Amino acid sequence: MHITLQKSEIAKQCSVQITGSKSESNRLLLLKALYPQFELENISNSDDSNLMTKALASTDAIVDIHHAGTAMRFLTAFFAIQEGREVTLTGSKRMKERPIQILVEALQNLGADITYEENFGYPPIKIKGKKLIKNKVSLQANVSSQYISALLLIASRLENGLELTLEGKITSVPYINMTLSLLSEIGIENSFNGNTITVNPSTQNPRPKTLVVESDWSSASYYFSLAALSSVGTEITLSSYKKDSLQGDSVLVEIYKHFGVETQFENNTIILTKTNKEVGPFSFDLTHAPDIAQTIAVTCFALKIPCDLTGLHTLKIKETDRLVALKTEIEKLGGQVDITDASLHLHKAETIKSDVSIATYNDHRMAMAFAPIALKTSVIIEDAMVVSKSYPTFWDDLGAIGFKITK
């Protein structure tokens, strides 16, 4: 379904409740499957987390996780240690193009039985669950941190725990730290020193506890963008957030100061206020927060400022090649973008074309990142329901704060 966003204004003061973090939820759902004594609150209502829940409970021979990359990687590790269980883990056409060899090889080195069903190095994979005895493995750390988190999540259930050596430059580090923090929260001892991560085996069962998921900071990014493009004095309140977040995308607070958005933490909310600060060219290394690259690029385009984003080497293996998708769609709107394998340079925009139809490439973040353009001019978003991958109520929430949306 394509939707048209007519040129809109958002309410001068508005508030939105955002669903739980997809990343935290997917980790905690897996941990709950390993340690059922935990209760979870504010779990994400995203498609990806729903798929994760279903897959963990499934007894089918084939588990299809559609577009959910994190779920694909975490479940590969999970099924590898389900003794006696045999499962084929598969996904969408795009999932079959998202590499998994680094994780599969690490698991195989630990003794796992995993084979490729179609193309070597890619899903679908057949996993025959086994008890894993070995506890030392090394893997390449510059392609996706999800491989590392996947191993860490099952580590305490391995006979001898895990000692992981990370090779090369480590990417998306806050996601690794999030995994380790959640392990600590449930009483699983671990350490991360230099390029070595150690997780102890769980000798006694962790004590029951309720774990509350913080709302999703990547989803919040679209409101930071709206705040940046709105009139001075606009205030957007988002809940439920905390200052000491586990989510690396909370770096948005620092980044959006540059675009005149000040953030206050009050009780369990954040209040974004647009100030009269003058904005200029922007540059940032997003190695540790890749999911907000699209949001920032579109904010800069709409503010008509140039930007240089680096550390984008993981973008080409996400839901789509996000570098190519950004270039193509921003250029349709009249912008000019240069990309390499790991960076994006946006030239200062002269105009923003109206009524352009933005393709979303099965990528929720393409749809959501381009929505704030509607504060400048009318825009069409193709296949708008792709947002459900992480944020199913996105369009309803934008409608409630003043967006004029027609189907």
Ligand X SMILES: C=C(OP(=O)(O)O)C(=O)O
Ligand Y SMILES: O=C(O)C1=C[C@@H](OP(=O)(O)O)[C@@H](O)[C@H](O)C1
260 sits near ligand X (criterion: CB under 6 A) = no
- The SS3 call for residue 204 is coil
User: What does the per-residue mask of binding to ligand X show for 261-300, with x meaning CB under 6 A?
Assistant: ------------------------------x---------
247 sits near ligand X (criterion: CB under 6 A) = no
- The SS3 call for residue 178 is helix
19 sits near ligand Y (criterion: CB under 6 A) = no
23 sits near ligand Y (criterion: CB under 6 A) = yes
Residue 291 annotated as binding site: yes
Instruction: Respond yes or no on whether the N-terminal peptide bond of residue 124 is cis (omega within 30° of 0).
Output: yes
Contacts with 104 (C-beta within 8 Å, 6 or more apart), sequence order? 76, 112, 114, 116, 121, 125
How far is the CA of 143 from the CAs of 26, 105, 131, 259, in angstroms?
Answer: 20, 14, 27, 30
156 sits near ligand Y (criterion: CB under 6 A) = no
Phi, psi of 197 (to 5 degrees): -115, 130
145 sits near ligand X (criterion: CB under 6 A) = no
Q: Which stretch binds ligand X (CB under 6 A): 64-72, 106-114, 134-142, 295-303?
A: 64-72
144 sits near ligand Y (criterion: CB under 6 A) = yes
Instruction: Calculate Rg over the CA atoms of the chain.
Output: 21
Q: Which stretch binds ligand Y (CB under 6 A): 139-147, 198-206, 328-336, 351-359?
A: 139-147
Tell me if 366 sits within 8 A of 359, measured CB to CB. Answer: yes
Pairing of strands 13-17, 235-239: parallel
Which of 1, 2, 7 minimizes the C-alpha distance to 373? 7
- Report the alpha-carbon distance of residue 368 to residue 3 in Å, rounded: 12
- Report the alpha-carbon distance of residue 51 to residue 62 in Å, rounded: 13
222 sits near ligand Y (criterion: CB under 6 A) = no
- Report the alpha-carbon distance of residue 81 to residue 83 in Å, rounded: 6
Q: Which stretch binds ligand Y (CB under 6 A): 43-51, 145-153, 257-265, 274-282?
A: 145-153
Q: Which of ligand Y, ligand X, none is residue 38 near (CB under 5 to 8 Å by kind)?
A: none
**Residue ranges of the alpha helices (H) in 186-235?**
217-229
Please, what is the minimum distance in Å from the beta carbon of residue 92 to ligand X?
Answer: 10
Write out the binding residues for ligand Y, residues 282-321 only, by CB under 6 A. Answer: 290-291, 314
Residue 145 annotated as binding site: yes
Q: Which stretch binds ligand X (CB under 6 A): 66-74, 118-126, 241-249, 373-381?
A: 66-74
- Report the alpha-carbon distance of residue 19 to residue 45 in Å, rounded: 6
Contacts with 336 (C-beta within 8 Å, 6 or more apart), sequence order? 346, 347, 349
Write out the binding residues for ligand X, residues 318-337 only, by CB under 6 A. Answer: 318-319
Q: Two tokens at 23? A: 């990343």
149 sits near ligand Y (criterion: CB under 6 A) = yes
Residue of 64, 216, 291, 397 with catalytic role: 291
377 sits near ligand X (criterion: CB under 6 A) = no
The residue behind tokens 């499934």 is 58
388 sits near ligand X (criterion: CB under 6 A) = no
Q: Which of ligand X, ligand Y, none is residue 68 near (CB under 5 to 8 Å by kind)?
A: ligand X
175 sits near ligand Y (criterion: CB under 6 A) = yes
DSSP 8-class letter at 213? P
70 sits near ligand X (criterion: CB under 6 A) = yes
365 sits near ligand X (criterion: CB under 6 A) = yes
Residue 396 annotated among the catalytic residues of the structure:
no
44 sits near ligand Y (criterion: CB under 6 A) = no
Reading phi first (left if > 0) and then psi (alpha if -120 to 50, else beta), residue 150 is in alpha
Contacts with 36 (C-beta within 8 Å, 6 or more apart), sequence order? none
Q: Which of ligand Y, ligand X, none is residue 129 near (CB under 5 to 8 Å by kind)?
A: none
Task: Print burial letters for 207-216: b (CB count within 10 Å at least 16), e (below 16).
Answer: eeeebebbbb
Q: Which of ligand Y, ligand X, none is residue 50 near (CB under 5 to 8 Å by kind)?
A: none
Task: Give catalytic residues, as residue numbers.
Answer: 291
User: Could you list the residues that contact ligand X (CB under 6 A)?
Assistant: 48, 67-70, 291, 318-319, 365, 390
User: Could you list the residues that contact ligand Y (CB under 6 A)?
Assistant: 23, 70, 144-146, 149, 171-172, 175, 290-291, 314
Residue list, annotated binding site: 22-23, 27, 69, 98, 144-146, 172, 291, 318, 322, 365, 389
Residue list, annotated binding site for 3-phosphoshikimate: 22-23, 27, 144-146, 172, 291, 318
Residue list, annotated binding site for phosphoenolpyruvate: 22, 69, 98, 146, 322, 365, 389
